[in-house]
Amino acid sequence: MGDAMINGARIVLETLHRMGVTDFFGYPGGAVIPIYDEIYKYPKLNHYFARHEQGAAHEADGYARATGKCGVCLATSGPGATNLVTGLMTAHMDSVPVLAITGQVGCALLGKDAFQESDIVGITMPITKNNYLVKSIYDLPRILREAYYIATTGRPGPVLVDIPKDVQLKEITRDEFDKLYEEPFALEGYEPNYKGHPKQIKKAAKVLKNAKRPLIIAGAGVLKGRASAELFELAAKAQIPVTNTLLGLGSFPGNHELFLGMLGMHGTAAANFATDEADVVLAAGIRFDDRIAGNPEAFCKNATIIHIDIDPAEIEKNRKVDVPIVGDVKQVLQALNKELKIGEDEAKVAAHEAWLTQIKAWQKQYALRYNKQPDGTLPPQQVLKTLNELLQGDAVIVTDVGQHQMWAAQYFTYRKPNSIVTSGGAGTMGFGLPAAIGAQVGMPKSKVVLVAGDGGFQMTAHELMIINQYKLPVKIVLLNNSYLGMVRQWQELFNDKRYSYVDLSCNPDFQTLAAAYGVRSVKIEGETDLKSKLKAALDADDGVLIECVVAREENVYPMIPAGMTVADMRGKEGVADDVE
C-alpha cells in the first residue's frame, strides 16, 4: 500500500481518532485481522485486549458510564459478534452510548452460511439504537460518523457497524478519504427534541408553585443530560425533597438533607412513603419501570405528575402523567428554574415545612439498619457501610447484579454524578468486573471499587487478566455468601424455601483463582480486622481482590414485592422484624 493510499481497516482507526476516541476494547478473530493489523502499527488509539467479547462490550459500557463519553468495542464475525449481544442489550436497556464494530465475511459470501457468518445486524436490531452493514469503502467514513453521532445524541444507546473483510482490505486514496470524512450527512427522521414546549414548562411551573407536598424523582436521564447542577438548584432553592432511581444515584448529592435515598422495590421507606403521599411529582429522566413503580396505576396515586424525558416513546408508556414535557432534561430544568424565578434574590418559594417535617420523621423512624449475626459472621451490609466510611464518596463504585447491588445502592453515599456504574434494566450478572475495568481505563486517576457477588463474579472472572496485563488498580470487594443470593431470597419468601440450584458451596478458592491471574488478594472473615484490611487494600497502588466471607442467608430489605404497592412494603427498617 503506497503512502497515498488507505484501506478500510485504517479508515476505521483514523475515523475513530478524528471523532475523539482514545480507548477501545476488543478481541481479535479472522474477520477483523485487517483491523488488528492496522492496530499493530497505529499508536494514536489505546486498544485493551479483552478475554471474551462479552467482556469487551461491558468494558466499553463501563467506560461510557464513568466518563460520559462513547465506549467502543471490536469483535470478529459469527460467535465473536454474537458474544457482544448481552453487552449490547445491557447498554440498550440503560441508554448507554456504545459503538460496536464487528467484522463480517466478504460481501460475496453474505447470506451463504460461510464460515463464521452470522446476521449480526438482524440479531441486534431490537437491542441497538441503529445498526449498519457496510458494503462499500466509500460509505465507511460516513457510516462510522453517523453511528457515533446517533449513539451519543438524543437518548443515547448502542449502535453496531458490521464491516465485511473485503471492505476492510479495499483501498482508496487519502484525498478521497479526507473528502468523504468531511462530507456533511443528513439523518432523515432523526431529530431529537432538546427544547421543551414553553406552554408545558409554564404549566409545570404553576403546578410546582401550588404544591404542598412536592417530590422530585431523578433518574439516569439527569446524568446523561448533565443536568445535576440544574436539578440541585431547583431542589435546594425550592426546598423539594429528592429521591433517585438506581441509575439516577449521584445526580443529587447523597449527603444532602433533602435526599431520601433510592426508591422502588428495595428503596428506603422514606422515599417510598413520599411517593405515596406527594401531591406533585417531578419525574426527571425516568422510565417508571416496574422495579420503581411496582403497580404503575397505584404509583404516586395522590400526585399530579410532571414527566420530563428526551424520548417521546417514554411518555405515558408505563404511567399516565399530567404534564408531559419532551426535551433535554438540562434545557427543560433551566427553563423551569427561570420560570420559577429560582436563583433570584426576590424569589419566594412556597413553604413545605410540614411536608419536610413528615419526611424527616420517616427517615428517623425507618433508618436503614441490620442485625448482627449470632454466629459472628460478617453481615454484608456492615462490609459496605465500612467501605463507604473509608471512601468518603471519593470513588467510582461499580457493582455486579444481585443482593450486593441493592446494598450498595442503600449503604453508599453517592455525592457526584457518574459515581455509580451498575446494570439496571437488564440486570446482567457478570457485568461488574469488565465494567469496572472499563471505568478504570476511562478514569485512570480515580479510585474504582467493584462490589460483586460470588455468582456474578464467576461469569466474567476471566477478565481478571486485564487487571494484571495493564496494571489497573481496580479494587474488587467480593461478597461471598456461597449462594445466588437474590434468587435464594425470592425462593425463601415466595417459594417456601425451596432452594433450587442456588447453593454455591462448591465455589472455587477465590484466593487461588486471583493468584492464577496474577492479581493480589486478601480474605476477610470477621469484623475484627474488617476496617484495617479494607483500608490497606484500598490504599494499595495495585489491583486487589478483597474476598469478604459474609452471612449466607441475609435478605435485602425494605422490599416491595413485584407488582405491588407501598402498602405491601416489607422490612421498612432494612430488617425482617416487621415482616409477618
Q: State the catalytic residues.
A: 53, 115-116, 165, 486
- CA nearest to 513, candidates 470, 471, 467: 467
Distance of alpha carbon 132 from alpha carbon 20, whole angstroms: 21
Cβ count within 10 A of residue 351:
10
- DSSP classification of residue 485: H
Q: Are 148 and 118 in contact (CB under 8 A)?
A: no
At 28, list the grid cell: 481479535
At 293, list the grid cell: 413503580
Distance of alpha carbon 363 from alpha carbon 302, whole angstroms: 21
Q: What is the full DSSP assignment across 81-141?
A: HHTTHHHHHHHHHTT--EEEEEEE--GGGTTTT-TT---HHHHHGGGSSEEEE---GGGHH
Cβ count within 10 A of residue 110:
15
SS3 305: strand
SS3 399: strand
Residue 246 sits at φ, ψ, to 5 deg, of: -55, -50
Helix, strand, coil percent values for the chain (each to nearest 5): 40, 15, 40
Q: Are 73 and 81 in contact (CB under 8 A)?
A: no
Q: Are 560 and 494 in contact (CB under 8 A)?
A: no
Q: Are 404 and 383 in contact (CB under 8 A)?
A: no
SS (H, E, C) 401-462: CCHHHHHHHHHCCCCCCCCEECCCCCCCCCCHHHHHHHHHHHCCCCCEEEEEEHHHHHHCHH
Beta bridge partners of 282: 216, 306
Distance of alpha carbon 573 from alpha carbon 577, whole angstroms: 8
First-to-last C-alpha distance (Å) of the chain: 75
Distance of alpha carbon 548 from alpha carbon 446, whole angstroms: 23
Q: Are 570 and 557 in contact (CB under 8 A)?
A: yes
- CA nearest to 559, candidates 479, 456, 489, 487: 489
At 272, list the grid cell: 417510598
At 315, list the grid cell: 411518555
Distance of alpha carbon 463 from alpha carbon 275, whole angstroms: 41
Task: Give the orientation angle of helix 329-339 with respect to helix 198-209, to 10 degrees.
Answer: 60
SS3 537: helix
